[in-house]
Structure 1
Amino acid sequence: MDDLIRDPLPHLTGALARPGQGSSDFDLNPEFRLKEPRKLRPAGVLVTVSLIGAAPRVILTKRSSALKNHPGQIAFPGGKTEESDADAVATALREAEEEIGLPRDLPRVLGTLPPHETVTGFQVTPVLAVLEQGFDPVADPNEVAEVFDVPLAHLMQPSNYLLESRIWRGLRRHYLTVPYGPYYIWGATARMLRELAARMQA
């Protein structure tokens, strides 16, 4: 873990190079499936590792409680792909600029991780990037209630992840959480982070 804090880049690029399939909100709930045929909408999120400061940190947001999808949840900056976006990378960079004021040319994109399928019908591509220059976050109040960051070391430690459950649509649904201070990180965000952690540990 000390090596990860000292120099995370080899670990991040190594995680991208490892083979593997994508993840899903259904991984922990194989008995639960929505009716087919199911058309997934493409989306991209920016997994930004800030290299500024004593230890690398991951930038996250708390979504506005007024949003239709995943209100009030902890999430990466990102959203659905628009026709004007060339690919998932373009989507993630555009959304990060719109949601938290991160200039599109500031993050250094390392690559993309396998997509994650959400229960709400999105196929989300995590775009892994590092930030080597500071910026002043400006949250779009229509979408983001708060911008904050979490130590990468905390998120890459498998023992920090908990398996919890709740009743959803009449069925018990299991999901991962990775709490940090006052922030309850769970669902798709926690699942994508856990996948990255697994790749970093491999």
Structure 2
Amino acid sequence: MPCNVVVLISGSGSNLQALIDSQSDSNPARIGAVISNRADAYGLQRAQAAGIPTQVLSHREFADREAFDAALMAAIDAFQPDLVVLAGFMRILTPGFVRHYQGRLLNIHPSLLPRHKGLDTHNRAVAAGDAEHGCSVHFVTEELDGGPVAIQAAIPIRPDESVAQLTDRVHVEEHRIYPLAVRWFAEGRLRLGEQGAMLDGEKLPVSGHLIRT
């Protein structure tokens, strides 16, 4: 039975492309729609090239965050998703939105959560003298970047590399672990339980399933 996925984007959609590329006969995850709050998001072209329905819902057309999120929920629910995936969706979501999709809303964050929540994570990791950096796929809760982690990829920070080089290396890991987490969910292996993220019925540690490269 396919798992119907709706992906939300705001920009280039490189993680969306990784998800599109991961679709196969053996993978039950199917992207049913891509929705963006920006009409100029390049990810819309990626979706259209793959034959995936797209929709634009500009937040600028709504009086406040609550009104936009209500319209966004209606747009998403029209596709009857089993899972909603945030792939570079640059909006802070209201508590009502998060509760509506509790347990079926995933996000990817470019740091090893709980370190470096928020923005500018690559610069902050270097400035902090961290030995390693990476990315995390987590269930979304009302706490910003604070939901239970499903999977992380950690890479060593090289002493001679620029922030741009580090950023590129983290992107490679993002494109590896996000499709994996979505596939786990689609296969019924990954779930949000009362105690946190669960994989194959076992509670995951705070770092989730950790991959080091």
Same fold (TM over 0.5): no
Normalising TM by the smaller chain, what interval?
under 0.3
Q: Which has the higher strand share?
A: 1
Q: Which has the higher helix share?
A: 2
Normalised to the residue count of structure 1, the TM-score between the two structures is: 0.27
Normalised to the residue count of structure 2, the TM-score between the two structures is: 0.26
- Which structure has more RCO (C-alpha within 8 Å, separation ≥ 6)? 1
